[in-house]
Amino acid sequence: MTKFRVLLFLLTVVVVGGVGYFLSYFAKGYRFDLNTFKFLPNGILVIKSNPDSAQVFISGELTTATNATVNLPPNTYDVSVRKEGFSVWNKRLNIQKEVVTEADAHLFRVVPSLSAVTFSGVSTALPSPDFTKIAYIVPPGTNGQDQSALSTQAGFWIMETVNLPLGFSREPRRISDGDLTESTFMWSPDGKQILLENQQGSYLLDAGSFAPQESIVNIKTKREQILASWSQEEKKRAEAKLSSLPDPLEDILRRKASALVFAPDESKILYTTNGEETLPSEIIKPIPGSSTQKQERELEADHTYVYDLKEDRNFLVDEDASSLSIKIWETSPAPRRLFWFASSRHVVLAKEGEIAIMDIDGTNRQIVYSGSYVSPQALPAPSIDRIFLLTNLGANSTLPNIYSLSLK
């Protein structure tokens, strides 16, 4: 009886050990080949998409649907994600043995829907620093209105861009009235105040309340003090973010970045260079499954790059930064504009007659709007389902309005 128990125990150890050994290899991507009677190494591709239920083609063959895991022998594969009504996502991926490679395909509508958000005509529009609001000026008596519109529509307005639950809506709010056609304005760094300026003076508006034109106070004598305070606030925020970076990266960005903006989730940095420099290898310890797309660590002047703080990868996204504007809240934007998409995995490029969204590695540049609009008035939103733009749809006799471009 004792021998039987010992034998049973040993058999159990062998079976459990064998199953465990098999499962450990299986988890690493190995698969048993019946022809060679050997475990052959594989890599694992985790493929997701937004929206989901898209078809996945690997090297031209329909393999699975998105939100799936695929075991592949180590090699380089052309992966395509397709869904009817949406643009095609393509990428060349290098699958390595025992490594999980993740691919997240964001698909945008081939024909995005365009819907008007304002109707009275807009002369100037600027988003808040956190993208949750857009401020704009409505001139009096525009787009076929009579002069009575001066009291009901003309003035300074703010609209919320945050998506609210179904059944809830938040109408634009007028912050000040009167004819402000010739005015310029800029947001405070915290998005709570707006500095409005015209030939008559400078005025500080509260972004959350209405102030009639006759009651607002000219603060022109305090203008420089306010701007210095805002500049100091911006500098403190930038210093806090830069100081948290690895020393080699912080040093290069301080010396060679003429402008930089962190992604909404602060996992990446979009920056433009003012000179040549070399990014050292392994600023951050590489992680398994990092992007295998071509990167650029030899920086050139007046180029725009994205650095991934998690994967230590640096990608070129634009070779012409001579007229590039990254700071989206400035009062006089340059002819072209590049800014973060809400996903933190994409960059929006707005130029004359065209708006495109691309992956951070510069691939999958997808044109989401082609046509007449006030370039570069493409305005970011805090969600991935839309962006805003300023257009009159080609009707040059009328002022443009703000439109929502639905992408999902």
**49-106 pLDDT, tens digit each:** 999 999 999 999 999 999 999 999 999 999 999 999 999 999 999 998 888 899 999 9
pLDDT value for 268: 96
Length reported for the chain: 408
Whole-prediction pTM value?
Answer: 0.83
Q: Measured between alpha carbons, how far is residue 78 from residues 22, 94, 155, 314 in Å?
A: 30, 9, 53, 22
Sign of torsion over alpha carbons 80, 81, 83, 85: negative
Q: What is the DSSP letter of 141?
A: T
User: With contact defined as beta carbons under 8 Å apart, do 279 and 311 qualify?
Assistant: no
| Tokens (6 digits) for 172 | 């634009």
With a cut of 50, which residues of the chain have pLDDT below it?
Answer: 34, 36-37, 143, 146, 148-150, 167, 323, 328-333
pLDDT value for 329: 45
| Tokens (6 digits) for 259 | 């402008």
Instruction: Report d(CA 96, CA 253) in Å as an integer.
Output: 32
Name the residue ranges covered by the structural domains of the chain. 41-106, 113-221, 253-370
At a CB cut-off of 8 Å and minimum separation 6, what does 120 contact? Answer: 138, 142, 143, 145, 149, 153, 154, 401
Instruction: Report d(CA 148, CA 239) in Å as an integer.
Output: 49
**188-233 pLDDT, tens digit each:** 999 999 999 999 999 999 999 999 988 999 999 999 999 999 989 9
pLDDT value for 263: 94
> Which residue reads 């933190």 in tokens?
344
**Phi, psi (rounded to 5 degrees) for 221:** -70, -20
- For residue 369, which of 83, 138, 115 has the smallest C-alpha distance? 115
Q: Which residue type, as a one-letter code, is found at position 200?
A: Q
- For residue 355, which of 328, 377, 385, 325 has the smallest C-alpha distance? 377
41-106 is a CATH 2.60.40.1120 domain: yes
User: With contact defined as beta carbons under 8 Å apart, do 201 and 185 qualify?
Assistant: no
Q: Each residue of 352-376: b (16+ CB within 10 Å) or e?
A: eeebbbbbbbbebebebbeeebbbb
Q: Each residue of 148-161: b (16+ CB within 10 Å) or e?
A: ebbeebbbbbbbbb
CATH architecture assignment, domain 113-221: Single Sheet (2.20)
Q: Taking the mean position of all CA atoms in its chain, how far away is CA 264?
A: 7
Instruction: Report d(CA 49, CA 60) in Å as an integer.
Output: 18
pLDDT value for 333: 46
Class of residue 401 by CB neighbours under 10 A (exposed 0-12, middle 13-18, buried 19+): buried
Strand ranges inside 252-385, DSSP E: 257-262, 268-273, 277-278, 298-299, 304-308, 313-318, 324-325, 336-340, 346-351, 354-359, 366-370, 378-379
At a CB cut-off of 8 Å and minimum separation 6, what does 227 contact? Answer: 195
Whether the link from the prior residue into 140 is cis, omega within 30° of 0, is: no
Class of residue 334 by CB neighbours under 10 A (exposed 0-12, middle 13-18, buried 19+): middle
pLDDT value for 288: 78
